[in-house]
Homo-oligomer: A and B are copies of this chain.
């Protein structure tokens, strides 16, 4: 039965346009205790690097008004561990698997991309926009020339459709988006976190051990929506929109701005049912408004 919610991105068809934002949902195992993972269009997992990364010192989290700062620093057990433990787990479910990859250097990016080339996963998301690692990450994601070069180099090793995840910390997001596409991105995802800070005025020090962290949640949504709108009008590849999405109304705003799909991140912390409630909400909206396919409203904002 066709629900009208099927969404095809770079040749991969999701049953609905909702995935999880990398790093907020682990590999699904933990949230699987509370929600039915089969409901999700796709699961985007926590960033995986070639070798295990220890991550940043704690405290790594700070709550802000309607937002969250994190400085996890891409702690992960490395690609080998992931492939042995998480892919078999995820394949039990009827959902697409998107693996988010990261590296400190270009060769690390290439190595991890290559390692996943032979793996049973559906899409690869290249994180060149993480603000929480010293080398690589953000520095790779802000200069359009570097972006194009990095994407092109990594692309060479990638066998699955390649999503490139963009940083919002740039003067002109459309320039970076075009660079990623000309480097070979099959799809784009945005936005990663903005960098933010919070200070404990009683202890007179930043809450985060790393002082500065990535800012996510409802507080970044207006910026995210604007950037998704701009990028959708600048490139021809599909866009996965994210940044503060917490309700189906939020998700629909991104879809109307032109997003092919959406990812839910920080909202999971506020409401572990957020993803499934968003899917149900979109379905209800479609029914009430007699929309038989999301195509009817996607990108309706010109």
The answer, among B69, B206, B301, for a CB contact under 8 Å with A204, is: B301
Residues of B within 8 A of A249 (CB): 201
Q: Quick one: closest B residue to A218, CB to CB?
A: B65
Partner of A222, one of B171, B196, B244, B257: B196
Contact B219–A66 (Cβ < 8 Å): yes
- A285-B201 contact given A196-B225, A219-B222, A226-B196, CB 8 Å threshold: yes
Query: Taking the complex as formed, is A220 at the interface, i.e. its CB lies under 8 A from any CB of chain B?
Result: yes
Partner of A206, one of B64, B198, B212, B301: B301
Q: Is A67 an interface residue (CB 8 A)?
A: yes
Number of copies: 2
Report A's interface with B, CB cutoff 8 A: 64-67, 69, 142-143, 169-171, 194-199, 201, 204-206, 211-212, 215, 218-223, 225-226, 229, 244, 249, 252-253, 256-257, 285, 297, 300-301
Cross-chain contact B195 with A226 (CB below 8 angstroms): yes
Interface centre among A226, A252, A253, by most chain B C-beta atoms within 10 angstroms, is A226
List chain B residues, Cβ under 8 A from A64: 221-222
Find the B residue at minimum CB distance from A197. B226
Contacts of A204 in B (CB 8 A): 256, 297, 300-301
For this complex, 28 residue pairs linking A to B, each with C-beta atoms less than 8 Å apart, are: A64-B221, A65-B218, A65-B219, A66-B66, A66-B67, A66-B219, A143-B171, A196-B223, A196-B226, A197-B222, A197-B225, A197-B229, A197-B257, A198-B222, A198-B253, A199-B253, A199-B257, A199-B301, A201-B252, A201-B253, A201-B285, A204-B300, A205-B301, A206-B301, A211-B229, A211-B301, A212-B226, A218-B219
Q: How far is the CB of A300 from chain B (nearest CB, A)?
A: 5
A126 to chain B, nearest CB (A): 19
Is A198 touching B220 in the complex (CB atoms < 8 A)? no
Residues of B within 8 A of A171 (CB): 142-143, 169-171
